[in-house]
Amino acid sequence: MNTANAWRADFPALSQEINGQPLTYLDSAASAQQPQAVIDAVARYQREDHANVHRGVHTLSHRATDLYEGARDKLAKFINAGSRSELVLTSGTTESINLVAQSYCRPLLQLGDQVLITWLEHHSNIVPWQLVCEQTGAELIVAPINDDGDVLLDELFDLMGERVRMLAIGHVSNALGTVNPLDKIIQQAREKGIPVLVDGAQGVPHMPVDVAALDCDFYAFSGHKMFGPTGTGVLWGREALLEQMPPYKGGGDMILEVSFDNTVFNELPYKFEAGTPNISGTIGLGAAVDYLQNIGMQRIHEHESALHSYMVEKLSAVDGIRRVGQATSQASVQSFMLDDIHPHDLGTILDHQGVAIRTGHHCAMPVMQSFGLPGTARASLGLYNQPEDVDRLVAALEKAKQIFA
């Protein structure tokens, strides 16, 4: 396979050595590195344009507002949102999902209603629903997966009963890399009148996402998984649904008029954005969108798909490897066990050779339980990875085997 990766040089963090070895970063599913363009955009804003947004009449406030709102426009276009007012800026996927649970579901849920998720979900697509179910007397129901890490579609469809008020499902599993067949799932939910929230944290960085084509109702994602700063994220929602939802947090910027008797809330999307937002981070996220758009998400998807296949092939050839998660369609991620070496021992030994992977439960304890494992080792790819990274991973695994032989 073609070993050149011209994009890699755009990411300054990747040119360093760790423990005397070139950094091999295979932990983008936890957090992706940032290109120079993002770092520069944040620094330029901090240096020259910083002021609060939506408030002042002075020049810096105008500039900050233009940059911040410009990022919103870029993000809206990036996922093909119907309008910018459907694009709520949040601190990340976690806040986006909590917003929907508390603002959309909580007023709606009655005793005996159900919220449907799957066994694949990240804790941030489990716990917010548990909380709202406790608050309302609704029930959280969970669609099973098979040993490959695919959601059992028949079971999922059977669970879509009359009392289900929300289906919340990941686009791509962070623990197993499973790409869910969202088209089929959302179509089925639509036919049954069930709103769908997609946790897109692991989808957006790796493939083109078009919320209009997906036909979901909410799509949540994080900035730092898509090469932007931490503490940034998006909730996209259908305008008609967002309109009917009450504010989630109270404070400045989400109001039109406040008196002690009554407050008139601001229009969408500002109704959900109380307080001074993460201005610099969001501007950085806007730069990340520009960076990704310049390359093209389809190209990134093709590069990563080929690299993922190469990783699967190379890992499978290592004696003693057990691939955890072999779903029909996978993106970015491969979880695995090596002999009976505990994932944390593996993580330390690999780090020693400059190879950064994630080890543990990946904030998806139920997935690990379904495989009877306390955790796994997980290698995950970003656009900047190349076959050499996979080769270094495999060499480091061989060394771990020697130590534990």
The contact set with another protein (CB under 8 A) reads 19-21, 341-345, 348-349, 352-353, 359-361, 368, 374-375, 399, 402-404
Could you tell me the smallest distance in angstroms from the CB atom of residue 374 to another protein? 4
Residue among 138 and 355 whose Cβ is closer to another protein: 355
Which stretches within 79-161 are classed as H helix? 93-99, 127-136, 153-159
Which among 60, 390, 86, 137 has a CA at the least distance from the CA of 267?
A: 86
Could you tell me the smallest distance in angstroms from the CB atom of residue 399 to another protein? 7
Residue among 33 and 359 whose Cβ is closer to another protein: 359
> Are the beta carbons of 371 and 127 closer than 8 angstroms?
no
> Are the beta carbons of 170 and 221 closer than 8 angstroms?
no
Residue among 361 and 392 whose Cβ is closer to another protein: 361
Could you tell me the smallest distance in angstroms from the CB atom of residue 231 to another protein? 22
DSSP-derived pairing of the beta strands 87-90 and 114-118: unpaired
Residue among 62 and 123 whose Cβ is closer to another protein: 123
Could you tell me the smallest distance in angstroms from the CB atom of residue 403 to another protein? 5
Residue among 289 and 397 whose Cβ is closer to another protein: 397
| Residue located via tokens 């994602």 | 221
Of the residues 105, 133, 216, 363, only one is catalytic, namely 363
Largest interatomic CA distance in the chain: 73
Could you tell me the smallest distance in angstroms from the CB atom of residue 7 to another protein? 29
Residue among 19 and 316 whose Cβ is closer to another protein: 19
Could you tell me the smallest distance in angstroms from the CB atom of residue 23 to another protein? 14
User: DSSP letter string over 147-170?
Assistant: TTS-B-HHHHHHH--TTEEEEEEE
Residue among 20 and 294 whose Cβ is closer to another protein: 20
Asked if omega into 269 is within 30° of 0 (cis), the reply is: yes
Alpha carbon distances (Å) from 131 to 134, 164, 401: 5, 16, 43
Cβ neighbours of residue 393 under 8 Å, at least 6 residues apart? Answer: 24, 26, 311, 314, 315, 350, 355, 357, 379
105 counts as catalytic? no
Sign of CA pseudo-dihedral 4, 309, 366, 396 = negative
- The b-or-e profile of 201-220 (16+ CB within 10 A means b, else e) is bbbbbbbbbebeebebbbbb
Could you tell me the smallest distance in angstroms from the CB atom of residue 367 to another protein? 13
> Are the beta carbons of 48 and 42 closer than 8 angstroms?
no
Which residues are part of the catalytic machinery? 363
